[in-house]
Amino acid sequence: MSPRRGRPDGVVVLGGSLAGLFAAAAASGAGRHVVVLERDGEPQDMEARSGVPQGRQAHALLYRGVLALEELLPGVRGELIDAGAVPLDTGDLAWLGEFGWSPIGMPAFEVVSATRPLLEHVVRRRVAAVPGVDIRYGLRVDGLARTPTGWRVQARAAAGGDAGREEVSAEVVVDATGRSSRLHAWLSSLGIAAPRRDVIDARVGYAARLYTRDSRAGVPGIVLLATPGWPRGGVALPVEGDRWLVGAVGFGNARPPRDVPGYEAFLTTLRDPAVADLVSRCEPVSDVAAHRQTANERRRYELVRDWPDGLLVLGDALCSFDPIYGQGITVAALEALLLGAALADPLRPGAAATLQHRFASVTRLPWAIATGEDVRYPSSGRAPSLGQRLLRAWTDEVSQLALHGDARALTTLTGVYHLMVPPAHLVHPLLVASAVSSRLHGRRPPAPSPAALSAATG
């Protein structure tokens, strides 16, 4: 067994994916020495990693995520764009929602579209260059032990064998190992009761493929949402390398197939032919990648009594969402900002429990959005609660206003979705007045199908 390394007043981050890298950046920014332990080997290129099974699916940073990431790593947005990531105004996307097409050309929030490997590469490069950050690859964490000054992390070479064992001591341990986290089991070995686990699984399946970019698309991207009445959707987003990343999504028995003929046939069954038409004009440059580990799952660590000092959990290890809503990366970045602020000063007794409550508060709105949508699908095996039904009825009303040209309704909906404004804005008096007026006097004509889509296929 190798000698113990690390600093007793430092931070050990378990997991070197995005949540772990965000946590390392935040802890380093707070003046802490950081050791990151990552199970996968050191990446040699920008290929998807085995430890990130969703790595070949579509990813886009919500606007709140862009701001948080820029705060953690100033200038990183520009680095992503220089590396080929594509900034998009979501108001320019061809977006087909449950009740029709959103108006195009109304300025909205920016997203940055890139493949997951590019995003990880740029973030990893920035974090690895920070003095005081030590990323160690190929190490699988076996467990934790308390020490008089904090924690001792027990790890071994991911390939197995006793020769690769080592221990790292630190004041603070941050679990960012994602959905595969074993922290609940480690707590039991420490005599701490495992937390309650909430799961809502709508059995969502994804499949994605890369294509050459077609300059005749007419729009910067296409989003065809699945609905309870038609539980199939698709998306086409521009990514680096002058390519389209085309994703298919389905609920329950409507999940997209994994084979190429089945995937292409699936795209022809969507509510609008826009994505299938685009694909028919492009050349594929990858095979089909499928992903079905999509349940909403949270472990209620904030409810655990006598939460141990110096132990924290964030990212998907704390709360993971159905990826269709694109919230996970943004939530992890927001949690990292809270972590950095807390570590700027010495942690007092009870500080970890307080911070764990703050992490939970960050997840509350995204959890409500994701699970509130997913329980509408029979494949979830759940029925919406009375509160969810009432909220859905009002959100549908606001959505109808937005589709019929109400700028305030559109801005509010997108603001809540991008985690920029609280959901209370949905009941702003002017929105309520607009809803009443539309009921009394009728709505404006709805937005038509984007003319650019018709022109591209004409």
Q: What is the pLDDT of residues 212-229, one digit of tens each?
A: 987 677 889 999 999 999
Antiparallel, parallel or unpaired: β 172-175 and 311-313: parallel
Average pLDDT over residues 90-103: 91
* CA gap 279, 209 in Å, rounded: 10
According to the model, what pLDDT value does residue 379 have?
A: 97
Q: Is 92 contained in some domain?
A: no
Confidence of residue 309 (pLDDT cuts 50, 70, 90): very high
Six token digits for residue 55:
């790595």
Q: Cα dist. 18→177, 189, 364, 456 in Å?
A: 10, 28, 20, 37
Give the domain range for residue 324. Answer: 11-59+118-199+294-370
According to the model, what pLDDT value does residue 107 have?
A: 82
- Which range has the worst mean pLDDT, 4-8, 96-100, 132-136, 370-374? 4-8
- For residues 279 and 403, membership in a common domain is answered with no
Higher pLDDT, 42 or 337: 337
Mind listing the pLDDT tens digit for each residue in 189-206? 888 988 999 999 999 999
According to the model, what pLDDT value does residue 55 have?
A: 72
- For residues 307 and 264, membership in a common domain is answered with no
Amino acid letter, 135: I
* CA gap 130, 122 in Å, rounded: 13
According to the model, what pLDDT value does residue 1 have?
A: 41
Task: Calculate Rg over the CA atoms of the chain.
Answer: 23
Q: Is 73 contained in some domain?
A: no
According to the model, what pLDDT value does residue 6 have?
A: 53
- For residues 279 and 324, membership in a common domain is answered with no
Q: Is 3 contained in some domain?
A: no
pLDDT at 4 exceeding the cut of 80: no
pLDDT at 171 exceeding the cut of 50: yes
- For residues 209 and 244, membership in a common domain is answered with yes
CATH number at residue 136: 3.50.50.60
- Which range has the worst mean pLDDT, 53-62, 366-375, 395-404? 53-62
Mind listing the pLDDT tens digit for each residue in 425-434? 999 999 999 9
According to the model, what pLDDT value does residue 440 have?
A: 79
Q: Is 113 contained in some domain?
A: no
Q: Is 100 contained in some domain?
A: no
Higher pLDDT, 159 or 18: 18
Given phi > 0 = left and psi -120 to 50 = alpha, else beta, which region is 241? Answer: left
Confidence of residue 280 (pLDDT cuts 50, 70, 90): very high
Total Cβ atoms within 10 A of residue 148: 5
Q: How many domains does the chain have?
A: 3
Confidence of residue 3 (pLDDT cuts 50, 70, 90): very low
Tell me the pLDDT of the chain averaged across its residues.
91
DSSP character at residue 101: E
Query: What are residue 95's phi and psi, to 5 degrees?
Result: -125, 115
According to the model, what pLDDT value does residue 118 have?
A: 94
Q: Cα dist. 22→156, 181, 401 in Å?
A: 24, 17, 38
Average pLDDT over residues 259-285: 95
Six token digits for residue 335:
């949690």
Mind listing the pLDDT tens digit for each residue in 228-247? 999 999 999 999 999 999 99
Confidence of residue 336 (pLDDT cuts 50, 70, 90): very high
